[in-house]
Amino acid sequence: MPTFLKGLRRSSTKSSKKDNVSVYKEKTDNTSDGTSSSLSSTNNGSTSPPASVPSDRSASDVKTVNSGSFKESAAAPGNRPTLNSQRYSISSMMSNGNGAPKSPTSPLAPRIISVSENSWVHQKILLVYGQIGDPNSKPLDGTVTIYHHLDSFPATNWPVCDSHFKALVHLQTGPNKLRFDFVPVRGSGSTSPTLHTSWLTVNYLPLNNAPPIQLVILLAKDSPGTFDAVPQRAQAEGHSLDTAIRKFRMAAYLWQAFTGEQMSRAGFGRRCFRYEEEWTDGTTSISDRQTGKMRNEAKIHVIRMDKTLKDIRDLDVAQQYSGAKRSGDLYSWATDAVKDYFKPKAGQKLYVSCLYLDSHWDTKAKVVRGHAALGGANDPVHLAIFGSHALQSYPTAIEEVVPAFSDCTKTDTRFVANDANESGSSWEAANIGIGAHLHETGHLLGCPHQENGVMLRDYVRLNRTFLTREPYSTRTKQPGQRLVLRGDECGWHRLDCLRFRYHPCFRLPTDPPVIADESVQVWTVENGTVLATAPTGIAFIEIYGEGDDVCRAWNEYIDGVGNGGGNGPPKQLMLIESELRSKLPADKQKKTMKIEIHSAGQGKRTIDDFASLTGKNAMVKLPNGRMGYRGAKLGFSQMDGTKHQELVLDSATKQSKLLLSIRVFAGYAVDGIEFIYEDRSTQLFGNRGGSPTDFALDTRKGETLLGFYLRAGLWIDGLQVWTSTGRKSQIFGNATGGSGHTLIPPRGYNIVGIYGSCGQWLDGFGLIISR
């Protein structure tokens, strides 16, 4: 062997042995105090477990290790460390291919209950719930410290109360390998001086193909850009626009963490809405502000309105006292400002949650000026508005969440509001501000008031979502719960989660393509049966008893698969009156029953009196002796001079009649429809107004009328003819007016006629069907 190769070989061998000894010495020396697995918060990162740990261990949902045992399991002689060991990388702790740490387990290592190993989530801040040891036999207090993937986010500390903990975890796109260290407090019952560590891998996939909820701060054109705060807080953390942005952003992240967890508990995966993001100064961690680190953060749009402070603060607000005037002005002004800022095009929808920064506590009138708690899902702007009167109590960063919801500082009404006398302390003010604004954001997502949950007033307990021990409450005049578990928290109502399951803002990449037609149609057929159809499928039905202002009974038809897939909700459903009534209390089962049928496309059909569908008025005796049935009508039939009309097609009852073409009279709305037969006879429904256009059927191929697509609201804006061969005419009339509805009879039935009403043009339209 050449001499120079021998020299290289000797040098390499010597170096390798030296490295092995030094690694062994470092690891055994560091384990003397039982802290070798602790992750340093310095720039050097964290020390890896030893390379000698067997690599064939099986993975479990949450992998655990007692770092105090590193001394006993240190590298044995002859076990050479790998060259790519990445000793300071968290990922090296998870490097055995399946994400399992190469370490022994510890009975006191944190056990993550709410999130399983390798879960997929869709919001940046993840809520985690876990336990230490066996809470029933030996409850412990202490601290869980979370170290983030590749030190991408500063370590955060979370209290452990009676062996339970809740924490917020910051994620970056892709896989996140997280480390959880538990340190018990002295005297808590633990005799172990060591850390107890577990690991969890979570995959974060932003839903960039779903529309975002835009976050907006609204300012008067002469606003100083400040919000109400007591002098001490204004001096300590500021009350400027910059502080408001940090606080509003953190509140929005809490909305996401809360909603993602609620959707998971409802069985729909970790679906959640998203925010538009921007590359800007990081604010989610206090450390980011100190170091000037930049991150992708939720964008807070700041819009200067054309209204003055006097305009905004002179309004009397309906929610605060009975003599209110112009209570909707703040909402309409916000709508106008948002439209002018985002400039949506025709057919586009915006989802916007706004904070009025210029809300102000009037100490003389004892009212918050420039504040209204309102939300609605009205196209094109789905909007929520709320005031800034509780903003001082919000956390500005993830490290401040627990302190903010634990702060018992009494509300000083010389400077800030005690909203509805439910914000007597700082943590309760944070509940009201963050929670009530989330309530209004629920409205913009289509949620009505519910019998419980956020859409009632359960947000006064929002703090419990993020704490395991609750402080004294001025609202209840009682000490808070010593231990707050998941059953004690507030939540989204089940019906809210059902709405979110198919909402555009919650769409997953695995969901099937969206069908544009969101409509729901209702058809009465024989034997008192009612059929409901929807092109996107029927998701759930709300059932209301007489006098009910909120829904207390419902049927749901979700396929049950949280991340898409399955056959989806049914496109045709049989509704049996007795079964629906059985859902109501006994004293309401024989009274008027209202139902609302919701499609997976966010459409809704309301039947105010279900019994009216199955009565004699729903049936039509045809000229040939058969029975026809009227489907639910579109349009309000409220135009001046409107008259009821009904037409039974000759081609449906006489074999000698062959329908050749359909002529539609339309301008900015549909005036009438004329059916033209082979013998040149015609039948007219409505008026001969506007411009006539013919749509011929190909009778040589046996083409027949299948149904219609309508644009309808108060009246019939537009109409399209569909045929049995799949052909469609143009949309006659206004193609963008009203909302879209597909009128195709259910399986086994055909169109035999049309009924409705007509004034100056058609303002009512429904089909008559028969077998």
Q: In the structure encoding, which two tokens stand for residue 417, read together?
A: 């509001």
Whether 369 and 239 map to the same domain: the answer is: yes
Look at residue 319 and tell me whether its pLDDT is greater than 80.
no
Whether 605 and 642 map to the same domain: the answer is: no
Look at residue 80 and tell me whether its pLDDT is greater than 70.
no
Ranges 38-42, 174-178, 370-374, 415-419: which has the least confidence = 38-42
Whether 163 and 224 map to the same domain: the answer is: no
| Residue 23, domain member (yes or no) | yes
Whether 473 and 567 map to the same domain: the answer is: no
Q: In the structure encoding, which two tokens stand for residue 409, read together?
A: 């500082």
User: What sign does the CA torsion over 461, 463, 466, 467 have?
Assistant: negative
Whether 170 and 226 map to the same domain: the answer is: no
Instruction: Give whole-number Cα distances, 443 to 26, 176, 257, 450, 496, in Å.
Output: 59, 33, 18, 11, 10
Q: Given 440, 474, 501, which residue is the final one in a domain? A: 501
Look at residue 6 and tell me whether its pLDDT is greater than 90.
no
Residue 526's pLDDT band, with cuts at 50, 70 and 90, is confident
Look at residue 763 and tell me whether its pLDDT is greater than 90.
yes
Q: Please answer whether residues 367 and 417 qualify as being in contact, where contact means their C-beta atoms are separated by less than 8 angstroms.
A: no
Residue 190's pLDDT band, with cuts at 50, 70 and 90, is low
Q: How far apart are CA 732 and CA 743, in angstroms?
A: 15
pLDDT of 86-125, one tens digit each? 333 333 333 333 444 445 358 899 999 999 999 999 999 9
Q: Given 588, 613, 638, which residue is the final one in a domain? A: 613
Q: Once rounded to an integer, what is the mean pLDDT over residues 536-562?
A: 87
| Single-letter amino acid code for the residue at 67 | S
| Residue 243, domain member (yes or no) | yes
Q: Once rounded to an integer, what is the mean pLDDT over residues 342-360?
A: 94
Q: How far apart are CA 688 and CA 537, in angstroms?
A: 36
Q: Given 578, 613, 648, which residue is the final one in a domain? A: 613
Residue bearing the bigger pLDDT, 68 or 256: 256
Whether 537 and 416 map to the same domain: the answer is: no
> What domain range includes position 640?
623-770
Look at residue 761 and tell me whether its pLDDT is greater than 80.
yes
Residue-level pLDDT at 58: 35
Residue bearing the bigger pLDDT, 137 or 729: 729
Q: Once rounded to an integer, what is the mean pLDDT over residues 183-190?
A: 70
576: domain CATH number? Answer: 2.60.40
Q: Is 440 a catalytic residue?
A: yes
The residue among 588, 576, 497, 495 whose CA lies nearest residue 544 is 588
Ranges 33-42, 198-207, 687-696: which has the least confidence = 33-42
DSSP alpha helices (H): ranges in 643-710?
A: 650-653
Q: Please answer whether residues 181 and 98 qualify as being in contact, where contact means their C-beta atoms are separated by less than 8 angstroms.
A: no
- The dihedral region occupied by 748, where left means phi > 0, alpha psi between -120 and 50, and beta the remainder, is left
Whether 256 and 289 map to the same domain: the answer is: yes
Look at residue 404 and tell me whether its pLDDT is greater than 60.
yes
Residue bearing the bigger pLDDT, 17 or 685: 685
Pairing mode of beta strands 142-147, 156-161:
antiparallel
Cβ within 8 Å of residue 236, ≥6 positions away: none
DSSP-derived secondary structure letter, 76: P
pLDDT of 621-636, one tens digit each? 888 888 888 888 899 9
Instruction: Give whole-number Cα distances, 748 to 640, 742, 753, 769, in Å.
Output: 38, 17, 16, 10
79: domain CATH number? Answer: 2.60.40.10
| Single-letter amino acid code for the residue at 264 | S
Whether 178 and 309 map to the same domain: the answer is: no
Q: Once rounded to an integer, what is the mean pLDDT over residues 398-426?
A: 94
The residue among 507, 745, 503 whose CA lies nearest residue 631 is 745
Whether 737 and 764 map to the same domain: the answer is: yes
The residue among 154, 67, 57 whose CA lies nearest residue 102 is 57
- Rounded to the nearest integer, the mean pLDDT of the chain is 84
Residue 191's pLDDT band, with cuts at 50, 70 and 90, is low
Q: In the structure encoding, which two tokens stand for residue 346, read together?
A: 């025709």
| Residue 700, domain member (yes or no) | yes
| Residue 506, domain member (yes or no) | no
The pLDDT > 90 percentage for the chain reads 66
| Residue 618, domain member (yes or no) | no
Residue-level pLDDT at 145: 96
Residue-level pLDDT at 756: 94
SS3 89: coil
The values of phi and psi at residue 758, to 5°, are -145, 130
743: domain CATH number? Answer: 2.100.10.30
How many domains does the structure of the chain reveal?
Answer: 4
Residue 562's pLDDT band, with cuts at 50, 70 and 90, is very low
CA 678 and chain centroid, separation: 55
Ranges 64-78, 511-525, 532-546, 630-644: which has the least confidence = 64-78
| Residue 442, domain member (yes or no) | yes
pLDDT of 279-292, one tens digit each? 999 999 999 988 99
Whether 634 and 729 map to the same domain: the answer is: yes
Could you give the angle at the alpha carbon of 370 between the alpha carbons of 368 and 374, nearest 5°?
A: 95
| Residue 527, domain member (yes or no) | yes
Whether 15 and 113 map to the same domain: the answer is: yes
Residue bearing the bigger pLDDT, 12 or 701: 701
Ranges 1-5, 282-286, 352-356, 618-622: which has the least confidence = 1-5
Ranges 59-68, 204-213, 239-248: which has the least confidence = 59-68
Whether 399 and 464 map to the same domain: the answer is: yes
Look at residue 48 and tell me whether its pLDDT is greater than 90.
no
- Active-site annotation holder among 261, 400, 440, 596: 440
The pLDDT > 70 percentage for the chain reads 83
| Residue 735, domain member (yes or no) | yes
Residue-level pLDDT at 524: 87
Q: Per-residue b/e over 477-509, b at no fewer than 16 CB within 10 Å?
A: eeebbeebeeeebbbbbbbbbbbbbbbebbbbe
The residue among 527, 532, 529, 533 whose CA lies nearest residue 579 is 529
- Greatest Cα pair distance in the chain: 112
